[in-house]
Structure 1
Amino acid sequence: MPGIRTAAQAKAWLEHQGKSVQAFAREHGVDPATTYQVLAGRKKGRRGEAHKVAVLLGMKEGIILSEADGQNNDQEVDS
């Protein structure tokens, strides 16, 4: 990825692809309301679903853990 997108660039990127925010959210299995909030700057994308949306939109660098990965990190390892 050449760089981090601003909210305006992310909106233009979606428009360039001919995708609505709703279609993007459905395609990636994220909440449309959260996607709108990240694009509007009301959510910064620091944790949880907002983080996932921001990374998918290219608005921040980061990794997206699957739910199974997150659950494995929470479990204690038996010796």
Structure 2
Amino acid sequence: MTGIRTAAQAKAWLEYQGKSVQEFAREHGVDPATTYQVLAGRKKGKRGEAHKVAVLLGMKDGIIVPQATHSLEAEGDELA
């Protein structure tokens, strides 16, 4: 990707692909409302789900860290 997309460019990118915001959100496992809010500029994408959405849309440079799938207690049980 060459540079960061603006919200207008991200919307145009989705349209170019023939995808709705809802479809994009489903494909990436993110909340559609958060996706709309990032595109509208109401959420800046600094943390959490909004960060993930902004990175996926190309509106922000960053990484998406996978969430842990088990608790620390479960880890302790596995080691015992």
Q: What is the RMSD computed on CA atoms of the aligned residues?
A: 1.5
Q: Which residue of 2 aligns with 1:7?
A: 7
TM-aligned CA deviation for residue 61 of structure 1: 0.2
Q: Which residue of 2 aligns with 1:77?
A: none
Q: Which runs of 5+ in 1 are unaligned?
A: 73-79
TM norm structure 1: 0.86
Query: Size of the alignment, in residue pairs?
Result: 71
Percent identity of the aligned residues? 85
Q: Which residue of 1 aligns with 2:31?
A: 31
TM-aligned CA deviation for residue 68 of structure 1: 2.0
Q: Which residue of 1 aligns with 2:51?
A: 51
Q: Which residue of 2 aligns with 1:18?
A: 18
Distance (whole Å) between structure 2 residues aligned to residue 68 and residue 42 of structure 1: 28
Distance (whole Å) between structure 2 residues aligned to residue 45 and residue 26 of structure 1: 18
Distance (whole Å) between structure 1 residues aligned to residue 16 and residue 3 of structure 2: 17
Query: Which is higher, the Rg of structure 1 or of structure 2?
Result: 2
For residues 6-29 of structure 1, give each alpha carbon's deviation from its aligned partner in whole angstroms, at most 9, with x where no partner exists: 000000000000000000000000
After the TM superposition, list the runs of 4 or more consecutive aligned residues in structure 1 that deviate by more than 4 angstroms. none
TM norm structure 2: 0.85
